[in-house]
Amino acid sequence: MQITISLRGKSQKPPVTVDLPEDSTVDDLKKAIYKKIPKFYPDRQRLSYNEKTLQEGKPLKEYDITNGDNVVLKDLGPQISWKMVFLIEYLGPLLIHPIFYYFKSQIYGENFEHSQMQKFTFYMIMAHFGKREIETLFVHRFSHGTMPFMNVFKNSFHYHALSGINLAYWVYGPWNASGTLSSVREEWFIWTCVAVFVYAQISNFSTHITLRNLRPPGTRVRKIPYGYGFELVSCPNYFFETVAWISICALSQSLAAWFFIVVGFFQMYLWAIKKHKAYRKEFKDYPKNRKAIIPFMI
């Protein structure tokens, strides 16, 4: 069958026609368009028919598209993979914190010995973002392949600026150096913070493995998650992420750390509520006693 493709917007380009078998899918249509117009690789396309967006993987006949019909193409602009976005986001703090930690005399204009608080905070932050990079490479499976390229700068600001430059500058400064009053922490308190951090990170990793196992590679399958953490909340990964950062905040007692987690938790709260509602809408047998992000509360 022949399908006409017209560009949405003020494009002066004439419509193009593609030939496809009757049993073709939306993915097949996107590939055919890409062959005709190489600029529009599949991830850059949003297709619609009769004002309804065409979902990847679905057959065209599900939308009643037949020979001679017109499908509208919207150009989403240059795209970047979600995996690459996450790698860039988490790489920022992994590079920024060592700069402030090891080049203290160049940054602060004086040499000093780091306190126990500064050392352990540094190790915890590096471990946290190192874990995130590993999970991005080997654990996470993304339901959405790409996002607009320009969004990477907005997304990276949260990590590069708030948990990177702002946090590193205030935590590793001479005002928290060894011997200063602000750096004094009891040994038991330091190790309690470390223990809570390790527990939260292991728990967070466990929930990510559970989510990974729900979705076969290369699919967008959605199932009800069960297991550790999920019996109480829909998004235990966000909950344990928050607990891990609270341990860093408690150890460092830095306003910059608290500011980062307040901003981060607000965003995770919005995501959790959205996912929680989506679960309940999609699955009629979804557990009614689950909260979204904080057990027994929210």
Higher pLDDT, 221 or 68: 68
- 122-157 pLDDT, tens digit each: 999 999 999 999 999 999 988 777 889 988 998 899
For the chain, what percent of residues have pLDDT higher than 70? 98
pLDDT of residue 218 exceeding 80 = no
* Domain spans, the chain: 2-76, 80-282
pLDDT of residue 292 exceeding 70 = yes
pLDDT band at 216 (very low <50, low <70, confident <90, very high): confident
pLDDT band at 215 (very low <50, low <70, confident <90, very high): confident
pLDDT of residue 284 exceeding 70 = yes
User: Which of 64-78, 148-162, 257-271 is modeled with the greatest confidence?
Assistant: 257-271
71 forms beta bridges with 5
Selection from 253, 268, 97, 96 nearest residue 184 by Cα: 253
- 18-61 pLDDT, tens digit each: 999 999 999 999 999 999 999 999 999 999 999 899 998 899 99
Fold of 2-76: Ubiquitin-like (UB roll) (3.10.20)
pLDDT the model gives residue 143: 72
pLDDT the model gives residue 10: 60
Q: How far is CA 176 from the centre of its chain?
A: 32
Selection from 297, 291, 192 nearest residue 236 by Cα: 291
- 174-193 pLDDT, tens digit each: 999 999 999 999 999 999 99
pTM value is: 0.88
DSSP state of 155: H
Average confidence score pLDDT of the chain: 95
Give the span between the Cα atoms of 123 and 125, in whole angstroms.
Answer: 6
Range of lowest pLDDT (72-86, 159-173, 206-220, 254-268): 206-220
Count other Cβ atoms within 10 Å, centred on residue 138.
8
pLDDT of residue 14 exceeding 90 = no
Give the span between the Cα atoms of 26 and 146, in whole angstroms.
Answer: 17
- 86-128 pLDDT, tens digit each: 999 999 999 999 999 999 999 999 999 999 999 999 999 999 9
Strands, E assignment, 122-204: 146-148
pLDDT of residue 9 exceeding 80 = no
Contact (CB, 8 A) for 118 and 176: yes
